[in-house]
Amino acid sequence: MTLALTTAFAADDLHSLQELFLRGEYAAVVEKTKGLLPRARYDRDGLLYLQGLSALKLKETELARSSLEELMTRYPQSPFSSQAKLAVSQVQTPSDEPVLFSVQVGAFQTRANAVKLAEELKRRGYDADVSEAQMHGKRFFRVRVGQYADRPQAESKARDLAQEGFPTKIVP
């Protein structure tokens, strides 16, 4: 079944994606969700969930993690959110690489805005840097603080940043 790439999609389209997933056609689910997500007004949580699970099956760990984390962040009340939390815990990182946590305080479509925020954070004594990332076909410049060996250290820094009025998100 061909999915119509419109601004909104029918429940039948989500159902057909679920069928593709159940048949093990994970690459097709990833491709179709990449096309639908930028245009979808409804059921974005379901699309992100299917995309994340399919990417997980394909061992596309970065896409799996970003899809599932976006779902949990943007749609915490979604029925898929608790399942996404469980799924993201299954995203494996290579065992020879230590997992480091950072605190993301912003993501911008222009480098200048990201650099401006990073400079402000550095003036306040934080170890901030800017990195470029692709997400859903768009380029973003992320501003992150620190690299911590464990999540509690990153959470502590996130609390400090939040007290100064910065938005925070812990990221591996």
Q: Over the stretch 10-23, which tens digit does the pLDDT of each residue have?
A: 566 778 888 988 98
Average pLDDT estimate for 153-158:
94
Q: Which long-range contacts (CB under 8 A, 24 or more apart) does 130-136 make?
A: 133/107, 135/66, 135/70, 136/34, 136/37, 136/38
Contact 34, 51 (CB under 8 A): yes
Query: pLDDT by residue (tens digit) across 127-138?
Result: 999 998 887 788
- Percentage of residues of the chain with pLDDT beyond 70: 89
| 103 CA to centre of own chain | 14
Model confidence at 89, in pLDDT bands (50, 70, 90)? confident
Domains, the chain, with CATH or none: 11-89 (1.25.40.10), 101-171 (3.30.70.1070)
